[in-house]
Chains A and B, each alone.
Chain A
Amino acid sequence: NAGVTQTPKFQVLKTGQSMTLQCAQDMNHNSMYWYRQDPGMGLRLIYYSASEGTTDKGEVPNGYNVSRLNKREFSLRLESAAPSQTSVYFCASSEIQGTSYEQYFGPGTRLTVT
């Protein structure tokens, strides 16, 4: 199993450009998440999708939009990139199975906005 995959791995954007970060999971999980990670700030939740067809804001949603395309895929869009959005972006998915709960992360996308 590939687990959680993300594309692209690296991206450089100019201020004002737009882009979509793609995420897919093959574990049949209902819930998916987008985080950003900045030095000294830890992981911060941008948006999440508890199940197909639903999305909710997290801690830092401003400047981002998401789409839960189907159960497998959850994309993150930056409409007009700003230098403050330079970060590492992680997608994750999770499911509760009995008493077990684990969130699986993708390898991350390193985004630089100049």
Chain B
Amino acid sequence: RKEVEQDPGPFNVPEGATVAFNCTYSNSASQSFFWYRQDCRKEPKLLMSVYSSGNEDGRFTAQLNRASQYISLLIRDSKLSDSATYLCVVNMRSGNTPLVFGKGTRLSVIA
């Protein structure tokens, strides 16, 4: 089983749609979780951290299920500018240690 697994997509959705991405991770001792966004031919950038209680930032909602080792990202009211690749990222050890990146899920929002 790969350490961090994501559906690669692509997800093609119309503007205004709600879309959800899922991610599973293999190490039950993983400490912290993130979603990064990567635009075409650009570097990855942090979109949001994922907390145990779930968290929301505007149209974006992240959820963590430690029992199932599962992370999700929900995007409501999709915009054209949301088109990007979304990377599920896990810190499998405590401290300032390397992150493990999923391969990413590509989203295209269509007018």
Contact = CB atoms under 8 A, between A and B. Distances in A.
Main SS class of interface, B: loop
A30 interface: yes
Interface of B: 8, 32, 42-46, 49, 87, 91, 95-99, 101-104
6 contacts: A30-B96, A31-B97, A41-B103, A45-B98, A48-B98, A50-B96
A86 to B, nearest CB: 15
Interface in A72-114: 90, 94-96, 100-103, 105-108
Q: What 8 A-B pairs come out closest when comparing CB atoms?
A: A42-B103, A105-B43, A43-B101, A31-B96, A96-B96, A102-B46, A48-B98, A45-B98
Interface of A: 30-31, 33, 35, 40-43, 45, 48, 50, 58, 90, 94-96, 100-103, 105-108
A105 B44 contact: yes
A92 B77 CA distance: 32
A103 to B, nearest CB: 6
Contacts of A30: 96
